[in-house]
Amino acid sequence: MNKNNLLRFIQKYSLGGLIESVAWNAEGNKLSVRFISDDKTLLGEVEFNAFTSKAFNVGIYTTSLLKNMIGVLDSDIALKVDLAGDKAVSLKLSSEETETSYQLADLGVIPPVPDLKQLPEFGIDIEMASNMIDKFIKAKGALSDIDTFTIFTEAGDLKMAIGYSSISTNRVTFTCQKGFTGEIKPISFSAKYLKEILTANKEATSAKLSVSTDGLSHVGFQIDDFVCKYYLVEILN
C-alpha cells in the first residue's frame, strides 16, 4: 500500500499527537479506528476504504512511535500482523530494503469508546469555507492559552468566538450567519480539538460544523477514500 495513505489515516485520528492509544480494525477493504480523548470531550471515527489486508483488530498504544517508524520506510509498503498462537503480537511493516516491527498492545489497555447511538438533533449548521478554516486555525494559534470556542447569537447574528466571556477579554469573533432566526445561549467546545481536526483534514475545501444545544457538536469529512467523523462534547465554562 502507499505509505502516505497510512500516514494520512494516522494523522486524521491522532490529531497532532493528541490521541495515542487506539484499536485498529481491518475488515474487507476498510481500515477503521474509533477513539476518545483523555478528557472525554472528543470522540471520533476514521475509515480508510481502500485497504487490502487480512482481517485484524489490534491495539496501538503509542501512535506517535508507530508513525515515526513508518516514516523510515519507502513509499510502497507491505503490512502484516504477526501472531503468537491466536494473539496478535506485532505489526510488521516493510518496504523494499527495510522492515519495522511494532509491538502491539493488549486491547484491554486501549480506552473504550462509547457508542453514540442516540444522537441529538443538530439544529445549527455552520458552513466553514476554506477562508474561515484558515482564520480559525490562525486565531487559535494567536490565542494559544484559550481552551474553548463558543457559539452564540448577538444582535440577531450567529457568531463563533475564541475567548468568549461575559466580561471583556482577548477574543476573536467570527460572524457565521447574519439575520439568524432564534436565540442561542452561549455553548462552548474545545478550540484545541477543532483546530487539530481542521488541520488534519486540510485537503477539504470546506467543513460543516453542526451544533446541538443539548451539548454536542459534529464535524465530518469525506475526502477521496477517507471518511472522518468527529464529535465534540460541551465544555462548561
Same domain, 104 and 168: no
- Residue 93 has a pLDDT of 96
Same domain, 91 and 163: no
Average pLDDT over residues 220-237: 95
As a whole number of Å, the CA-based R_g of the chain is 20
116 located within any domain: no
Decide which of 78, 109, 140 is a domain's last residue: 109
Same domain, 80 and 16: yes
Structure confidence at residue 170 as a pLDDT band (50, 70, 90): very high
Give the mean pLDDT of the chain.
95
- Residue 128 has a pLDDT of 95
pLDDT at residue 237 tops 80 = no
Q: Tell me the pTM.
A: 0.95
Same domain, 54 and 154: no
Number of structural domains the chain divides into: 2
CA pair distance 99, 204, nearest whole angstrom: 33
Percent of the chain with pLDDT over 70: 100
> What H or E segment, with its residue span, contains residue 43?
strand 42-48
Same domain, 134 and 219: yes
Q: Are 104 and 93 in contact (CB under 8 A)?
A: no
Decide which of 53, 80, 109 is a domain's last residue: 109
Q: Are 172 and 142 in contact (CB under 8 A)?
A: yes
Cell representation of residue 11: 494523522
Decide which of 75, 109, 143 is a domain's last residue: 109
Same domain, 7 and 102: yes
* CATH number of the domain bearing residue 193: 3.10.150.10
Q: Report CA torsion sign: 161, 165, 171, 177.
A: positive
**CB burial string 168-199: b at 16+ within 10 A, e below:** eeeebbbebbeebeeebebbbbbbbbbbbbbe
Domain of 48 in residue numbering reads as: 3-109
pLDDT in tens, 116-132: 888 999 999 999 999 99
The separation between CA 39 and the C-alpha centre of its own chain, rounded to angstroms, equals 14
Same domain, 18 and 97: yes
114 located within any domain: no
Same domain, 57 and 140: no
